[in-house]
């Protein structure tokens, strides 16, 4: 071993560092352990790579430092380093090698070892090598944390930009005419009030909020002449409007964070009795969020002035929601809608354009 005879001083922070010494020579292990413990490290021993690997994976590990010989029976040091790098990537590996094994030591560095030290070694050099290896691992962790946090922040910023872009599209849609102004915000408010009455919280609540905001995005692809037609729609015109959930999905599916919202948006015009669109789903085959939004969307459509009719009083709209419970709407959700009426702050309706003539409510539930 080395010629150092001075007792090494206790190293700062060593008492929190766990070292596993792996060598088939018991005397070498014991002397290295003794010197490292004097320096303040927590040290354990293993006689070969297989034993060391078991110790690292049976609850005693992971270790901060793995100090291993190269040539050992059962499992050599190179194989051990390779396995530990997979299971305990935060462990700093240091190879103890003879001068004749330098090529193998370099191979160990390529496999992830932090450093190597040649036998016989000076214990002061060993302590410095351990400290350098720990600093290297700490730096690697800092770099990885920075990279992870940076990716997270970039992802968050991208999501905010995407959300604002889509929100701008919705505002542009609602500003095309005064009849739809504020519709998405009101539907969102009503949907969340219903959901909260039903006890919806967490991510499900947040996904509903976003889906409700975006639910009519596809109407940006519907012609103004159809969207604001004061008279009865032709079958072709109705078909154009009925495509708006699918158009919304085609826009949003290009943005990964919005993909979980797509089923709720796609199916918010399904009916509980299976006579809705686009897929004629029925009952609980319709996404839960869609069943909530269907009530909120219809209620706002009835209580807002549209090109084809004046707004209905809230009381009339509530009667209509009750009447359609079990056919258009989920009968288990309608009571929650009725229960939260006092929580819904109604917004003022837009005024009628000059010369407006009221039309028959033949499109009452087409929203």
**Which are the catalytic amino acids?**
219
Q: What share of the chain is helix, strand, coil (3-state, %, to 5)?
A: 55, 10, 35
3-state secondary structure of 266: helix
CA distance 146 to 150: 6
> 3-class SS at 120?
coil
Is-contact 309 363, C-beta < 8 A?
yes
Residues 6 or more apart whose Cβ sits within 8 Å of residue 86: none
Cα–Cα distance between 285 and 270 in angstroms, integer? 10
**Integer CA distances (angstroms), 2 to 13, 93, 115, 122, 250, in order:** 24, 21, 18, 4, 71
User: Can you list the pairs that 223-230 forms with residues at least 24 positions away whose Cβ atoms lie under 8 Å?
Assistant: 224/176, 224/177, 227/176, 227/177, 227/180, 228/177, 228/179, 228/307, 229/307, 229/308, 230/307, 230/308, 230/357, 230/359
């Amino acid at each position: 071993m080395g010629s150092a005879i001075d007792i090494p001083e206790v190293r700062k922070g060593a008492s929190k560092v766990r070292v596993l010494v792996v060598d088939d020579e018991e005397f070498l292990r014991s002397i290295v352990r003794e010197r490292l413990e004097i320096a303040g490290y927590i040290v354990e021993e293993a006689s070969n790579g297989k034993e060391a690997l078991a110790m690292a994976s049976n609850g005693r590990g992971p270790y901060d430092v793995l100090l291993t010989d190269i040539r050992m029976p059962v499992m050599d040091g190179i194989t051990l380093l390779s396995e530990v790098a997979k299971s305990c990537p935060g462990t700093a590996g240091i190879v103890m090698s003879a001068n004749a094994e330098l090529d193998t030591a370099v191979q160990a560095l390529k496999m992830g070892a932090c450093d190597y030290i040649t036998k016989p070694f000076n214990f002061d050099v060993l302590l410095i090598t351990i400290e350098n290896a720990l600093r290297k691992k700490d730096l690697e962790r800092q770099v990885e944390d920075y990279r992870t946090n940076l990716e997270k922040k970039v992802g968050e910023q991208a999501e905010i930009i995407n959300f604002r872009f889509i929100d701008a599209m919705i505002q542009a849609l609602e500003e095309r005419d005064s009849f739809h102004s504020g519709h998405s915000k009101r539907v969102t408010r009503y949907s969340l009030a219903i959901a909260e009455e039903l006890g919806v919280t967490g991510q499900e609540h947040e996904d509903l909020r976003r889906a409700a905001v975006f639910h009519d995005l596809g109407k940006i692809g519907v012609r103004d002449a159809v969207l604001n037609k004061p008279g009865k729609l032709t079958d072709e015109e109705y078909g154009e409007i009925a495509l708006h959930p699918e158009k919304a999905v085609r826009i949003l599916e290009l943005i990964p964070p919005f993909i979980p919202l797509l089923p709720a948006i796609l199916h918010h015009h399904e009916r509980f009795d299976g006579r809705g669109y686009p897929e004629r789903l029925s009952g609980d085959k319709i996404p839960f969020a869609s069943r909530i939004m269907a009530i909120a969307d219809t209620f706002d459509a009835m209580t807002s002035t549209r090109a084809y009719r004046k707004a209905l009083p809230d009381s009339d709209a509530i009667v209509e929601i009750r009447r359609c419970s079990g056919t258009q709407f989920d009968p288990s959700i309608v009571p929650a809608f009725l229960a939260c009426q006092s929580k819904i702050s109604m917004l003022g309706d837009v005024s009628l354009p000059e010369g407006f003539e009221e039309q028959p409510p033949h499109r009452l539930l087409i929203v």
